């Protein structure tokens, strides 16, 4: 720990070595003060940057991340939650180390004629948060129940003191409900998608196109299309899984067809297979069906756990009340655990990995604390987290109160993780 302490002392000392500069925290050595500030939650760090120039420099990503590494502190992942249309409602960040530490982000700038953005992708690459595509409703079009796909792309740098969305070049192909993952070199890769109503069944569009955003040139590059059209799919990057141990972009599940039952009731044709794109060979390969007929209807919400180098080590799926682990060798989903608290099938929930654990999110209403017992009992909107540790194979449950005034509908709410 002596070397870590000396590293923290050197980093903190550079901030206060100027002539006449005050210490970070009066009465404390600067190395101790730097460690204290480093351990604060992200919302607290964001608020405290304005305290002084030394604090602003220390709590910037350029200084804070090397300091955390030198102190051998574990990487910290934040949950980014989009309750609804991000152009109307602010997305919020949650630091799971303190379930009350919420931090609102600015809404995405948008045309007043457009509303109801859904089926978009939210993904973080480093300190950059991307919002891509989606199904967009237009107040000037008819019918309103048939949205059009969006090619919009936005980015927000969470390392900056002032958070502001940056408009990026549009994707070549408009798309919503598509597969998306960080690409090697700091970019983003997307595949598939289309457009349809987020909650009402409809025969929406589908595409097989694939493209990659190059952050260095700020341009979208066309890649080889998938073997067939697919929407409603999930994507993730697997390192060293292909021939010659090349990195691969995997696309799982989704739907590739559309039928009706009795000529009236709409019904999707769901995919039971997966495909993978080699990042060096630029070729797709088929993975095969992951389950047999009758085992399950479709792929459930998927969460990937990655190592510090970004390599996906485990892949999990939430199917009803059970959590399944994907076996890459047999191409099958094996039961891992059951939820500690069952969730009714009629309710939708969120599923995401944070800091090596699986988080199942569900809207809840809990009794509110009131000063006068004779008043009518009130309830308060809350989020219930069921957290599963796949190493210890144990569950824990906690409840938090997000700064959002409406219940979360996880058919349209979007989740992603940000590592800072």
Q: Over the chain, what is the mean pLDDT?
A: 84
**Integer distance in angstroms from the first to the last C-alpha of the chain?**
22
- Per the CB < 8 A criterion, the answer to whether 335 and 390 are in contact is no
Mark whether 134 and 255 lie in a shared domain: yes
63 belongs to a structural domain: yes
The predicted pLDDT at position 18 comes to 47
pLDDT by residue (tens digit) across 183-224? 988 899 999 999 887 776 667 789 999 999 999 999 999 999
**Where does a domain end: 257, 282, 299?**
299
Most confident residue range from 35-39, 64-68, 299-303: 299-303
The predicted pLDDT at position 96 comes to 80
The predicted pLDDT at position 1 comes to 46
Mark whether 166 and 247 lie in a shared domain: yes
Of the ranges 160-164, 249-253, 315-319, 349-353, which one carries the lowest mean pLDDT score?
A: 160-164
248 belongs to a structural domain: yes
Q: What would the mean pLDDT of 159-184 be, rounded to a whole number? A: 91
Mark whether 41 and 112 lie in a shared domain: no
Domain of residue 268, CATH code: 2.120.10.80
The predicted pLDDT at position 254 comes to 94
The predicted pLDDT at position 9 comes to 54
90 belongs to a structural domain: no
134 belongs to a structural domain: yes
200 belongs to a structural domain: yes
pLDDT by residue (tens digit) across 288-332? 999 998 899 899 999 999 876 667 789 999 999 999 999 999 999
Between 45 and 391, residue with greater pLDDT? 391
240 belongs to a structural domain: yes
Q: Which residue has the tokens 């341009």?
A: 219
Mark whether 184 and 230 lie in a shared domain: yes
3-class secondary structure, 122 = strand
Q: Is the pLDDT of residue 241 over 90?
A: no
Mark whether 24 and 137 lie in a shared domain: no
User: What DSSP state is assigned to residue 142?
Assistant: S
Query: Could you tell me the pTM of the whole model?
Result: 0.86
Q: What would the mean pLDDT of 273-290 be, rounded to a whole number? A: 94
The predicted pLDDT at position 88 comes to 79
Q: How far apart are CA 391 and CA 313, in angstroms?
A: 12
Q: How far apart are CA 411 and CA 192, in angstroms?
A: 19
The predicted pLDDT at position 145 comes to 61
Domain containing 294 equals: 108-299
Q: Which residue has the tokens 């006449």?
A: 20
Q: Write the burial class of residue 287 (CB in 10 Å: 0-12 exposed, 13-18 middle, 19+ buried).
A: middle
Q: How many domains does the chain have?
A: 2
- Per the CB < 8 A criterion, the answer to whether 138 and 148 are in contact is yes
pLDDT by residue (tens digit) across 377-415? 567 788 999 999 999 999 999 999 888 877 788 888 999
**Where does a domain end: 271, 299, 327?**
299
Mark whether 265 and 118 lie in a shared domain: yes
Mark whether 47 and 150 lie in a shared domain: no
């Amino acid at each position: 720990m002596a070397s870590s302490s000396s590293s923290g002392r050197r980093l903190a000392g550079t901030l206060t070595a100027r002539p006449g500069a005050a210490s970070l925290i009066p009465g404390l050595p600067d190395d101790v003060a730097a460690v204290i500030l480093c351990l604060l939650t992200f919302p607290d760090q964001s608020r405290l940057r304005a305290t002084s120039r030394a604090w602003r420099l220390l709590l910037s990503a350029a200084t804070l991340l090397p300091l955390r590494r030198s102190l051998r502190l574990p990487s910290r992942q934040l949950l980014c939650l989009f309750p609804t249309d991000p152009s109307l409602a602010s997305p919020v960040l949650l630091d799971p180390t303190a379930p009350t530490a919420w931090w609102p982000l600015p809404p995405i700038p948008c045309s007043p004629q457009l509303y109801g953005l859904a089926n978009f992708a939210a993904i973080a690459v480093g300190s950059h948060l991307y919002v891509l595509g989606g199904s967009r409703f237009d107040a000037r079009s008819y019918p309103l129940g048939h949205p059009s796909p969006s090619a919009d792309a936005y980015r927000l740098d969470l390392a900056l003191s002032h958070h502001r969305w940056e408009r990026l070049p549009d994707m070549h192909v408009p798309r919503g409900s598509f597969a998306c993952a960080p690409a090697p070199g700091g970019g983003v890769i997307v595949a598939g998608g289309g457009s349809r109503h987020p909650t009402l069944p409809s025969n929406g569009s589908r595409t097989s196109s694939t493209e990659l955003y190059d952050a260095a040139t700020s341009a979208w590059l066309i890649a080889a299309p998938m073997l067939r059209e697919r929407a409603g799919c999930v994507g993730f990057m697997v390192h060293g899984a292909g021939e010659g141990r090349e990195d691969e972009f995997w696309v799982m599940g989704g739907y590739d067809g559309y039928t009706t039952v009795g000529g009236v009731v709409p019904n999707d044709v769901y995919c039971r297979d997966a495909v993978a794109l080699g990042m060096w060979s630029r070729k797709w390969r088929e993975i095969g069906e992951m389950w047999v007929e009758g085992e399950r209807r479709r792929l459930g919400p998927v969460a990937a756990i990655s190592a510090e180098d970004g390599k996906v080590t485990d892949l999990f799926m939430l199917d009803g009340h059970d959590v399944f682990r994907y076996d890459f060798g047999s191409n099958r989903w094996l039961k891992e655990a059951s939820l500690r608290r069952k969730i009714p099938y009629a309710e939708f929930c969120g599923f995401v990995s944070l800091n090596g654990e699986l988080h199942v999110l569900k809207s809840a209403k809990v009794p509110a604390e009131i000063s006068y017992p004779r008043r009518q009992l009130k309830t308060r909107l809350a989020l219930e987290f069921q957290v599963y540790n796949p190493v210890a194979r144990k569950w824990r449950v906690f409840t938090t109160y997000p700064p959002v005034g409406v219940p979360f509908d996880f058919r349209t709410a979007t989740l992603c993780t940000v590592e800072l």
